Structure 1
Amino acid sequence: MREAIDNALRGTYRLTVAAGLALGSYVFLALVPLAVVLTGTVIGAGTLPETVLVLRHLAGFKRRQAAEWSGVEIPEAYLPLTGRLGERVRTALTDPQTWRDLRWLVLHLGYGLGLFIAALVVWPFALLVDGAWSGLLGQRPVLLPQLDRLTDLDAAWSRALLTPGPGRSAELAERIAALTATRADAIAAHGAELRRIERDLHDGAQARLVALSMRVGLARRQFDRDPEGARSLLDAAQDQAEQALAELRQVVRAIYPPILSDRGLVGAVRALAASSGLTVAVEVDGLAGPDDPRPPAAIEAAGYFVVAEALTNAARHSGANRAAVHLSRVPRGLRIVVRDSGRGGAHEAGGSGLLGIRRRVAALDGAMTMTSPVGGPTTIEVDLPCVW
């Protein structure tokens, strides 16, 4: 009997929390029409996305609560509320899960309070009937276990209302698979980059520094008996020090080109175009003005790598003499299009660096498409997501 009362108390407490959430939902529902009206004004244009975020927090609290009660997790499937204000409003209105959460909120107002009231009604009868039943017949309580089952009913209804539809579940599974592959590609690209840096340092700067140390040591030994010979060794050591510094700068430029910090992506791409050996036309939309925002550093570095690799491929492998680069700011990020006048027929398995471009882009959750029919032209189009 004591165990049954403890379980019933625990179930009643949970239903009380659910009823409190339902009352809070009632207040929130009264604010939803106001948020919709304010969204149409200039001052309150950002009210709707913030309201949807509050709705997601309420639904998230219920998901965690139901999962704790039933032991069954309820997945989330929300579109990100990022970007400009217009995009955030559009996402808030078109995300199917927003309407699913809103439907849950309305219905939970009824069953959240209803189950709590049912628990209050059951308690006195349960104490009377179960007390007499267990006292006279020595059997387990009958009505008290029903209080704990009411919480299971609340969790089951909430799970049914908040679980994403089959389409969204399939979309989430596809997204998870894509992210898994992207992470593997990013790890492979990162490992290849680390090996390249290690090789460049070992074969270049490190070898020159070792030779430099040896020449300085020889000069020290020779200084007293042959000053001219020591001077010659020191001159050679200075030349090697300058060469080592130049190679170290080259390694640093490969990690993050300093020209990006100095001149931004547009200036860096124009410098690439001027030194590529091809006649390259650079077109820019929404990035070259003094008031235009710059992409994040990681996006700029990836964009620079894409253009540099594409122009290098065009100069070395395609037989092209002309190319065009188009940089543009799009609502969801940065778009890069590189087109050359070469013979075409490029493919990622040919060792031309195209796989490296795809991996670098995928690591930032971007997308790359390439068309390269035999006879040309080859066009590489890359979209890199970022918030402006």
Structure 2
Amino acid sequence: MRAAGLAPASLLFLPLLVFTAVATLMVVGAGVLPETVLLLRRVAGFKRREVERWTGEAVPELYVPLVGDLGVRVRTAVGDPGTYRDLRWLAVHFLYGWLLACAALVVWVFGVLVDGVWCGALGRRAVVLPLVGRLADLDSAWSRALLEPSADARRSADLADRVEELTATRADAVAAHGAELRRIERDLHDGTQARLVALSMRVGLARRAYETDPDAARRLLDDAQEQVEEALVELRHVVRGIHPPILTDRGLVGAVRALAAGSGLDVEVTEEGVEDGPRPPAAVEAAAYFAVAESLTNAAKHSGSRRAWVELARTPRALRVSVRDEGKGGADESRGSGLLGVRRRTAALDGIVQMSSPAGGPTVIEVELPCVW
């Protein structure tokens, strides 16, 4: 009786639907509506899984989550197109499910009566089972047609998911931008600004001592010169954190090779097509550069490996970066590895970051940045 497996469930569910409709119209039973819709979704989900087991192809489902207070859940249940899609299936399946069940019963009885009880066992394998299988095929095809979301509904859901993803990405980008501004402000305040204040004081003291104690003035000027050099170092450090000048001077490949040379690891850098044709946009280059810098820093500090590999590749619509080491693995980005910053910077450009770091290694970090060359 595979072809009509849910016909009894349909029969039992219809009185519940009638009760829910009446109770909802009476207002006092409106709270029953969301729970009834959830039960309807489970029944339809069971049918989807049954069709998938029979045909080998999944039947997609598309529902608006029933969350929030009672009023929101009721409005969501009433406004969700998936509710009406399931109701339509339930009503139609109540009709054709019983028809298919009766047809299957007739086929079985006919096979037993014509071939006899013992021959019927053989006949069922030769004749009856294919016919019942055909009825099951009809049941699956009709159920799929009724339960499967329309192309417009899937496009709308994909668009809604995309908007939600972009909203989250924008929030992360704003948070990352705010954190970066605070870091720059802190570096300037605690480093460069403090040294410039000390420099101003030394120059003032040297000017006062110039007439009465030239030697002391000379020493103060020597100290002031050291302060200037230290302030310049601090300022260069801040500038490199915003946009490394080496990217402008050498391009991405040259800048990554410089990173590799100064990482303390034996790093092999390979590139595929990156230096051919136009350069990537500055934001894409900076994101790739910082991803490599953070990955090599983590490898040098935590992996225990002495070697690493960096691969840069140009694809028709993206820039791909891969950093691999032969360390102990087990990297956990939740422990402040800096990969969260890489993810936020990459997500702001609609890129993807993937990390694989099983225990025992290797650790592989892959970044894909959309890029129109």
TM-score (norm 1): 0.57
Partner residue in 2 for 1:184: 171
Q: Residue 245 of structure 1 corresponds to which residue in structure 2? A: 232
Instruction: Say which of 172, 187, 203 aligns to 1:216.
Output: 203
Tell me the residue number matched to 1:25.
none
- Are 1:298 and 2:283 counterparts? yes
Q: 2:220 aligns with which of 233, 236, 261?
A: 233
Deviation string for 1:240-286 (max 9, x for gaps)?
Answer: 01110111111111111111111100000011011100011111001
The alpha carbon displacement at 1:381 in A equals 0.6
C-alpha deviation, 1:191, in angstroms? 1.0
Query: Of 338, 341, 344, which residue of structure 2 is paired with 1:353?
Result: 338
Matched residues, percent identical? 71
SS at match of 1:315: helix
Q: Distance in 2 between matches of 1:223 and 1:327?
A: 58
Aligned to 2:38: none
The equivalent position to 1:332 in structure 2, one of 304, 317, 321, is 317
Letter of the structure 2 residue corresponding to residue 322 of structure 1: R
1:384 aligned residue: 369
Letter in 1 for 2:200: S
Find the aligned partners of 1:334 and 1:293 in 2 and give their Cα distance. Answer: 12
Output the CA distance in 2 between the equivalents of 1:296 and 1:250.
23
User: Counterpart in 2 of 1:272?
Assistant: 259
Please, which runs of 5 or more residues in structure 2 have no aligned partner?
1-149
Q: Which residue of 2 aligns with 1:204?
A: 191
> Could you say what secondary structure the match of 1:230 adopts?
helix
Could you tell me how far 1:164 is from its partner in structure 2? 7.0
Matched, 1:368 2:353: yes
Paired residue secondary structure (1:212)? helix
How far does the alpha carbon of each residue in 1:197-244 deviate from its partner, in whole angstroms, 9 at most, with x for none?
Answer: 111111111110010011011111111110110111011101101110
Letter aligned with residue 359 of structure 1: R
SS in 1 for 2:170: helix
1:309 and 2:294 matched: yes
Q: Provide the residue aligned with 1:17 in structure 2.
A: none
For 2:199, give the aligned amino acid. Answer: L
Is 1:260 the counterpart of 2:230? The answer is: no
- CA distance in structure 1 between the aligned counterparts of 2:191 and 2:372, rounded to whole angstroms: 39
Considering Cα pairs closer than 8 Å and 6+ residues apart, tell me whether 1 or 2 has the greater RCO: 1
Q: Are 1:336 and 1:381, in contact at CA under 8 Å, matched by a contact in 2?
A: yes
- The 1-side partners of 2:316 and 2:165 are apart by 22
Q: Which amino acid aligns with 2:372?
A: V
Q: Secondary structure at the match of 2:319?
A: strand
Aligned equivalents of 2:257, 2:326: Cα separation in 1: 19
State the 1:332 CA deviation. Answer: 1.4
Write out aligned runs for 1:1-388 (5 A): 165-289=152-276, 292-388=277-373
**8 A contact 1:299–1:386 mirrored in 2:** yes
What's the secondary structure of 1:327's corresponding residue?
A: strand
Report the AA paired with residue 202 of structure 1. H
* AA partner of residue 320 (structure 1): S
CA distance in 1, matches of 2:319, 2:302: 27
Contact 1:222 1:229 survives alignment (8 Å): yes
User: Quick one: distance in 1 between partners of 2:175 and 2:363?
Assistant: 26
For 2:179, give the aligned amino acid.
Answer: A
Separation in structure 2 between the aligned mates of residue 192 and residue 164 of structure 1, nearest angstrom: 42
CA deviations on 1:65-102 (whole Å, 9 max, x unpaired) are xxxxxxxxxxxxxxxxxxxxxxxxxxxxxxxxxxxxxx
Q: Following the alignment from structure 2 to structure 1, what is the Cα–Cα distance between the partners of residues 192 and 237?
A: 10
Equivalent residue of 2:275, what SS? Answer: coil
Return the letter of the residue paired with 1:331: P
Matched position secondary structure for 2:264:
coil
Alpha-carbon distance in structure 1 between the residues aligned to 2:233 and 2:187: 12
Q: After TM superposition, where is structure 1 displaced by more than 2 Å over at least 4 residues in a row?
A: none
CA distance in 2, matches of 1:270, 1:293: 19
Q: CA deviation at 1:302?
A: 0.6
> SS of the counterpart of 1:335?
strand
> What secondary structure sits across from 1:165 in the alignment?
helix
Deviation of 1:386 after TM superposition, in Å, equals: 1.1
CA distance in 2, matches of 1:348, 1:186: 18
TM-score for both structures, normalised by structure 2 = 0.59
Distance 1:347 1:330 in 2: 29
CA contact (8 A) 1:269 1:307 kept: yes
Residue equivalent to 2:131: none
Checking the alignment, whether the CA contact within 8 Å between 1:347 and 1:354 is kept in structure 2 is: no
Deviation at 1:288, TM superposition (A): 2.6
Alpha-carbon distance in structure 2 between the residues aligned to 1:329 and 1:207: 44
